[in-house]
């Protein structure tokens, strides 16, 4: 069970038709999108230079109308210019085909999830770009070519119902997992419809549970009852646009008659409840998510909601008869008081804890170079996954039978050399086996079924090498930031490169999300294989070194993340890896904010900038879609002290006329209902009004991921990498 509000997951509707009755207007050319150039001035005019037109941010508020006719016209006009400029590149179509072949490859590892006696998987390929939900047996999965049974074909469903459906997962009723609540987005945004689905009949249940499109949270209590948090009407959503009220809804009754269980505040993020089947123990929990760090947890004991006494910023899980706490701040508890450090993982008996006892065993305590990335449990064991200088290290814990002391859990490390390790329990209640995922920058992912007790590991699947990494190596370096902090970064490049070469730098630096070492087929095929250097920086604001690393770039300390990225860029030039003219940066979401800030603060460091689904207006972000939920990260623009910090880096407010900006490319999605597309739209519009010439592409569907399916993903990625290659001087695509 995981009850923390943060979704990591560190992350799509058909294009709107033009109105009938008139032909579509021709898109403007690049010259038409530039500010109009006046004729050469006369000698008299030279004596007094005319004042340039005043540009205000209010000029661009119309771009906040997500599907407004004028806003969509802005998007389509710019799309035409960007597509003409980039898709005409000699290597564009070859790259697009290459990336699509990777994304649609049938040799990829199907990610398995055990449901009763079957393994289920969601799969996309060239025949099913929107994907199929399917299942097989474990015995068949172990074969090189498993036989799959399709449960739900999203492409066929969308065609039959004339909708651009995107699959957003399914929650299936324990223990048989035959009745499922399927989430379907219309276009790829976070909002989705929910429908009850019967796996045996492979059809939606007539008269079953159904929710209209909303940012809902819905889960099973039992076969005839669900917990539902959704848009119940006026006043039932938080300012961030998520459900404020959670109810219990019984089958066959109208949603309006559902019983309210818990209400959050309008300023919170959201609320929800779920039933936990853990080692055959049934517990129901409700959580009030205050912000991304803080939450209140309630245990439903009968009809009473019992408050679980914990620090608001602590993450809480349960395992069997134990309660697990991961701290985000130092916690002094007990008598005499014991202080546990932020980032520590604690375990205690659930019943004893609820009685008020505070006797803990420490399963993990952070160091200056290590932090807890995650933990998971199986039938009899617990596992911690720790990042040590951005490399995963796993420890297996077993419990001494009958021991109730604070030394009952004994740990043993997993010996593994891969930089990236991910664990997923095979069947938490029935087995100690785990799915073990291993990969590295140059090592394609592999999937093994690991039996810790038997010391056995069977590698079942291996991704093919999607690019030639035989002569590629990954090395870790540390740059020194402005305040002296050492910032780790990975450099992935050909061993035989000579001199300064085009280099692409990617980073995120926010929300305690870590960028781990991982195999990127996209960067490999589109950049590294062609001779470029790929760099991944681990900035403050992320989770690479735990809560303190995150806090070091929150709110008024946000500038630290930008200084960190600048330090990495400077280090790459100092070491002779690249030059400023051949160094590009790329980032998405908070990473898009990061690259937009670099554009306005340190343009001289870069030869090209890409900002994908970015934030740019830090004065109005809290008023746009889910933005209100991010104030714990960035601050409140309506607070004078917070705005004083935000205004110093808000990209939209720091764009300058006449500045020497490098080539820039902004991308977003009309259907992104998390980061409003107006952030990218307004940034581009203001840049143009001040005389600059950014490129812009807005996918009319796609959600926060920027694409509704693998075809769109290949197309958008090809636009981005073609832009970077052309501006930084990278060789043609193979």
Query: Residue 518 gets which letter from DSSP?
Result: -
Q: Which of 402, 392, 380, 454 is nearest to 423 (CA)?
A: 392
Q: Checking DSSP bridges between strand 608-612 and strand 664-669, what pairing results, if any?
A: parallel
704 is catalytic: yes
Q: Checking DSSP bridges between strand 664-669 and strand 695-699, what pairing results, if any?
A: parallel
For residue 671, give both structure tokens: 């259907």
Q: d(Cα 498, Cα 495) in Å, to the nearest integer?
A: 9
Q: d(Cα 675, Cα 616) in Å, to the nearest integer?
A: 10
Question: Residue 92 half-sphere exposure, CB side, CA atoms within 13 Å?
Answer: 17
For residue 48, give both structure tokens: 């007094």
Inter-residue contact 167 to 133 (CB < 8 Å): yes
Contacts of 318 (CB under 8 A, 6+ apart): 1, 276, 278, 283, 324, 350
509 φ/ψ sector (left φ>0, alpha ψ -120 to 50, else beta): left
For 561-582, b/e burial (b = at least 16 CB within 10 A) is bbbbbbbbbbbbbeeebbbbbb
Q: How many CB atoms are located within 10 Å of the residue 158 CB?
A: 20
Q: What's the Rg (C-alpha) of the chain?
A: 26
* DSSP character string of 38-77: PPPPPHHHHTSPPPPPP--GGGGGGGGSTT-HHHHHHHHH
Give the 3-state secondary structure of residue 426. coil
Q: Which of 250, 117, 244, 245 is nearest to 172 (CA)?
A: 117
Q: d(Cα 734, Cα 713) in Å, to the nearest integer?
A: 19
Catalytic residue of the set 611, 704, 718, 733: 704
Task: Please name the residue that has the structure tokens 């019984």.
Answer: 250
Contacts of 128 (CB under 8 A, 6+ apart): 153, 154, 155
Q: d(Cα 70, Cα 156) in Å, to the nearest integer?
A: 33
Q: How many CB atoms are located within 10 Å of the residue 384 CB?
A: 20
Inter-CA distances, 180 with 120, 271, 295, Å: 12, 21, 28
Q: Chain-centre distance of CA 644, in angstroms?
A: 28
- The greatest distance separating any two alpha carbons of the chain, rounded to the nearest whole angstrom, comes to 97
Catalytic residue of the set 295, 589, 629, 650: 589
Q: d(Cα 504, Cα 6) in Å, to the nearest integer?
A: 29
Inter-residue contact 608 to 723 (CB < 8 Å): yes
For the chain, counts of helices (H) and of strands (E): 16, 39
Q: In what order do the strands lie in the sheet with 259-263?
A: 217-222, 225-229, 245-250, 259-263
Inter-residue contact 613 to 588 (CB < 8 Å): yes
Q: d(Cα 297, Cα 121) in Å, to the nearest integer?
A: 31
Inter-residue contact 278 to 3 (CB < 8 Å): no
Inter-residue contact 694 to 680 (CB < 8 Å): no
For the annotated catalytic residues, the residue numbers are 589, 704
């Amino acid at each position: 069970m995981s009850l923390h509000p943060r979704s990591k997951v560190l992350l799509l509707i058909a294009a709107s038709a033009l109105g009938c009755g008139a032909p579509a207007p021709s898109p403007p050319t690049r010259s038409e999108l530039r500010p109009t150039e006046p004729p050469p001035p006369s000698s008299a005019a030279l004596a007094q230079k005319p004042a340039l037109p005043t540009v205000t941010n209010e000029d661009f508020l119309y771009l906040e109308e997500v599907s407004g006719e004028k806003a969509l016209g802005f998007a389509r006009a710019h799309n035409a210019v960007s597509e003409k400029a980039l898709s005409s590149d000699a290597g564009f179509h070859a790259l697009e085909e290459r990336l699509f072949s990777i994304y649609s490859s049938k040799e990829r590892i199907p990610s398995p999830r055990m449901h009763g006696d079957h393994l289920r998987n969601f799969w996309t390929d060239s025949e099913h770009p929107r994907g199929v939900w399917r299942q097989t047996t474990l015995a068949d999965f172990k074969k090189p070519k498993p036989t799959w049974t399709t449960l739900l074909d999203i492409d066929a469903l969308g065609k039959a119902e004339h909708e651009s459906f995107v699959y957003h997962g399914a929650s299936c009723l324990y223990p048989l997992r035959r009745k499922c609540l399927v989430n379907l987005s219309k276009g790829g945004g976070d909002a989705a419809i929910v429908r009850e689905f019967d796996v045996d009949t492979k059809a939606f249940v007539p008269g079953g549970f159904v929710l209209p499109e909303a940012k809902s949270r819905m889960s099973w209590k039992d076969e005839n009852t669900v917990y539902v948090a959704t848009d119940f009407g006026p006043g039932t959503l938080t300012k961030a646009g998520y459900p404020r009220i959670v109810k219990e809804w019984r089958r066959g009754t109208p949603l309006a008659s559902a019983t309210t269980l818990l209400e959050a505040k309008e300023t919170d993020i959201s609320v929800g409840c779920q039933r936990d089947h853990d080692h055959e123990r049934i517990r129901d929990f409700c959580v009030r998510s205050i912000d991304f760090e803080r939450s209140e947890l309630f245990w439903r004991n009968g009809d009473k909601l019992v408050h679980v006494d914990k620090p608001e910023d602590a993450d809480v899980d349960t395992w069997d008869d134990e309660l697990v706490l991961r701290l985000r701040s130092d916690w002094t508890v007990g008598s005499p008081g014991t202080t546990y450090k932020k980032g520590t993982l604690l375990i205690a008996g659930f019943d004893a804890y609820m009685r008020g006892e505070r006797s803990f065993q420490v399963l993990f305590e952070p160091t200056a170079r290590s932090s807890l990335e995650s933990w998971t449990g199986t039938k009899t064991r617990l596992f911690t996954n720790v990042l040590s200088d951005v490399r995963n290290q796993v420890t297996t814990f077993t419990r001494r039978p009958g021991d109730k002391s604070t030394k009952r859990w004994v740990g043993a490390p997993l010996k593994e050399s891969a930089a990236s390790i991910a664990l997923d329990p095979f069947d938490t209640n029935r087995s100690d086996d785990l799915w073990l995922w291993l990969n590295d920058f140059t090592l394609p992912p592999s999937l093994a079924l690991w039996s810790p007790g038997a010391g056995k590991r069977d590698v079942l699947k291996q991704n093919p090498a999607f690019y030639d990494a035989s002569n590629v190596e990954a090395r870790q370096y540390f740059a020194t930031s402005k305040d002296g902090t050492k910032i780790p970064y990975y450099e992935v490049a050909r061993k035989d490169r000579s001199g300064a070469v085009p280099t692409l730098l990617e980073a995120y630096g926010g929300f305690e999300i870590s960028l781990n070492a991982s195999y990127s087929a996209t960067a490999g095929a589109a950049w590294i294989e062609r001779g470029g250097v790929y760099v991944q920086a681990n900035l403050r604001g992320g989770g690479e070194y735990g809560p303190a690393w995150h806090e070091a770039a929150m709110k008024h300390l946000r500038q630290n993340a930008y200084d960190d990225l600048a330090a990495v860029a400077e280090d790459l030039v100092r070491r002779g890896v690249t030059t400023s003219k051949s160094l590009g940066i790329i980032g998405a979401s908070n990473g898009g904010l990061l690259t937009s800030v670099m554009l306005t603060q340190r343009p001289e460091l870069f030869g090209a900038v890409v900002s994908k689904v970015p934030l740019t207006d830090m004065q109005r972000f809290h008023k746009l879609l889910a933005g209100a939920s991010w104030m714990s990260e960035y601050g409140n623009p309506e607070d004078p002290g917070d705005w004083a910090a935000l205004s110093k880096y808000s990209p939209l407010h720091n764009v300058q006329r006449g500045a020497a900006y490098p080539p820039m490319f902004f991308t977003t999605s009309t259907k992104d209902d998390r980061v409003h597309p107006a952030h990218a739209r307004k940034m581009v519009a203001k840049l143009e009004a001040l005389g600059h010439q950014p490129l812009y592409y807005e996918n009319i569907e796609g959600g926060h991921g920027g694409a509704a399916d693998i075809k769109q993903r290949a197309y958008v990625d090809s636009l981005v990498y073609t832009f970077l290659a052309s501006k930084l001087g990278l060789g043609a695509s193979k």
